[in-house]
Amino acid sequence: MFHAAFLNPFDVAVYHLVNGMAGHSQILDAIMIFFAKYALELYALLFVIAWFTLPRKDIQNRHALFVAGLSGVLALIINVVISHIWFRPRPFTVFQKGTFTQLVSHSKDASFPSDHASGSWGFASASWGHTPRWVRYSFTILAILVSFARVFVGVHYPTDVLAGLLIGFVSSRIMWKFAHRLTPITVFVARLFRFGPSHDSQPQFGHGES
């Protein structure tokens, strides 16, 4: 494993700019801590809401939700590989005490790339062009808030979350390449909830990206 503590000017400047906002407003701090800590729970809630509020026969958008979920998982798997090859220490282990504000406790594991950002952007980017506007807008806005919050609370560098955005996007493109192979799973799960077309009809899926 290659260890790297080198700090580039962009990360130093933007990290201190964003993290410098922390510790001045209890309300803003609480909001950022919430988004920084509970991204997975928020996405799970959005997935459940979307799954159960889509039209009963809408199997195509439910399939897009399934692909989006797998895109987030793939992004996290890619992160594990990268973090085992290139270890970047967390900013709170590098910067001097008093030069930053850490709002949440965190282990001293690899900082690059951000798991929260990668998973969030995997979910969000996979929904683009495949789900109703309210779904993809909600996913994307949440991904932006989570990425910003991870820097705000002091546990990630800006390039950690930017890398997460890229990894999430690539993961979503990969998953959509194989999305057609996953349709039987979507149909099976949907029918457990009595969603989708009737048993004697063939569900229709779009091809690739719309």
Q: Considering Cα of 139, then 66, then 168, then 28, what sign does the dihedral take?
A: positive
Long-range contacts of 51-57 (CB under 8 A, 24+ apart): 51/193, 52/193, 54/132, 54/195, 56/194, 56/195, 56/196, 57/195, 57/196, 57/197
Q: Which residues of the chain have a pLDDT value below 50?
A: 200-202, 207-210
For residue 191, what pLDDT is reported? 93
For residue 196, what pLDDT is reported? 77
What six digits make up the tokens of 164?
A: 């997460």
pLDDT digits (tens, 9 = 90+) for 109-162: 999 999 999 999 999 999 999 999 999 999 999 999 999 999 999 999 999 999
Q: The whole model's pTM is what? A: 0.90
Ranges of each domain in the chain: 40-192
Residues making up the chain, counted from first to last: 210
For residue 197, what pLDDT is reported? 72
Residue labelled with tokens 């991204």: 39
Integer Cα distance of 32 and 136 in angstroms? 21
For residue 209, what pLDDT is reported? 42
Kindly report the backbone phi and psi dihedral angles of residue 90, in degrees, each rounded to the nearest multiple of 5, phi listed first: -65, 150
The 3-state secondary structure of the chain reads CEECCCCCHHHHHHHHHHHCCCCCCHHHHHHHHHHHHCHHHHHHHHHHHHHHHCCCCCHHHHHHHHHHHHHHHHHHHHHHHHHHHEECCCHHHHCCCCCCCCCCCCCCCCCCCCHHHHHHHHHHHHHCCCCCHHHHHHHHHHHHHHHHHHHHCCCCCHHHHHHHHHHHHHHHHHHHHCHHHHHHHHHHHHHHCCCCCCCCCCCCCCCCCC
For residue 37, what pLDDT is reported? 96
The answer to whether the CB of 172 falls within 8 A of the CB of 68 is yes
Integer Cα distance of 76 and 39 in angstroms? 13
